[in-house]
Amino acid sequence: MIGFIGLGNMGGRIARRLVDAGHPVLGYDPVAGAAGTTPAADVAEVTRESDQVLLSLPDSRVVEAVMLGEDGVLAHARPGQIVVDLSTAAPDSTRRVAAALAARDAAYLDAGVSGGAAAAEKGTLTLMVGGEEQALDRVRPTLAPFAAKVFHLGPSGAGHSAKLLNNFLNAVSLAATSEVMVAGRKAGLDLRTLLEVLNSSSGANWAVANRFPHIVEGDYLEGGLTTTLMTKDLVLYVDHLRGLGVPSLNAAGPLASFGLAANLGYADQISNRVVDAIGDIAGGVRLHEGDQS
């Protein structure tokens, strides 16, 4: 039996992939639905009844509560059990949780996820994993229905570290490209042609190639990372770099952009709406025709 704790935006989609692949899944979430899983009463039941437990939770605070709290996963863990944490969490917290689980002869893998809701539904996520490689080899069949690429980054915390680094670059490209596209609109450029230019030039990036061809048509690719979660990941990144002794000189731009979006009412909307926040203060600009504020 596979256990799954956290059946929200990403977790629900991943759990559905497992169920559709024929895996028996025991799921628990205090808010979200069961996503096709067999519903469990609580975290304790999931842990007791599952050989492998997957987590998809908002942040380290929630992960620690689920893992280390009274009647949490640790309280019911047993030798040989494997927990795979698909959350975006602080590497220091991850290492503490892993050490506590190791004391019970169980394994903890931090598995940062990239690809968003669309990739989760298609089963084409990328996973960046930290922890014991032998444990990773054991869970690969479980990961296969939802992950097209699985990379082992090193010891505990390495997967979540790589996830924070990746998410920072994601935030930079999204925020910077949003600014450029609003400027292009106000300059009177044809935005579809501008995107072709950028994708053929040194300004090419993931947002230019994969997000803005949809956004200029009015499709914000709903269902992905919200502005609030993007901001949370940026703060985790800055904290992580502080711990490493590395200056985070380029964090101010995306922090300002997504902070602006949150304060203008886009906090719980997809982070792609940062372009609308920048457009708001540029005079009510929208990239797609027929929706000018």
Q: Rounded distance, CA 110 to CA 9, Å?
A: 19
CATH of 162-281, one of 3.10.110.10, 2.40.40.20, 1.10.1040.10, 2.40.50.140: 1.10.1040.10
**Residue 253 Cα distances to 149, 176, 242, angstroms:** 30, 8, 17
Asked if residue 292 has pLDDT above 60, the reply is no
Average pLDDT over residues 8-35: 92
| pLDDT tens per residue across span 145-161 | 999 999 999 999 999 99
Residue ranges of the chain assigned to CATH 1.10.1040.10: 162-281
Rg over CA atoms, the chain = 20
Q: Rounded distance, CA 35 to CA 13, Å?
A: 7
Domain 2-155 adopts which CATH fold? Rossmann fold (3.40.50)
Contact status, residue 262 vs residue 228, Cβ threshold 8 Å: yes
Within 13 Å and on the Cβ side, how many CA atoms surround 99?
7
> Residue 129's beta-bridge partner residues?
111, 152
Asked if residue 6 has pLDDT above 70, the reply is yes
DSSP conformation letters of 1-39 = -EEEE--SHHHHHHHHHHHHTT--EEEE-SSS--TTSEE
Residues with a known catalytic role: 163
Positive or negative CA dihedral for 237, 268, 88, 64? positive
DSSP conformation letters of 145-161 = TTEEEEEEEESTTHHHH
Q: How far does CA 183 lie from the centroid of its chain?
A: 29
Contact partners, residue 169, CB within 8 Å, separation at least 6: none
Q: What is the pLDDT of residue 290?
A: 59
Asked if residue 182 has pLDDT above 50, the reply is yes
What pTM, to 2 d.p., does this model score?
0.93
pLDDT grade for 32, boundaries at 50, 70 and 90: confident
Q: What is the pLDDT of residue 263?
A: 98
User: Of 78, 6, 81, whose CA–CA distance to 43 is shortest?
Assistant: 6
Residue ranges of the chain assigned to CATH 3.40.50.720: 2-155
Ramachandran area for residue 6 (φ above 0: left; ψ -120 to 50: alpha; else beta) = left
pLDDT grade for 231, boundaries at 50, 70 and 90: very high
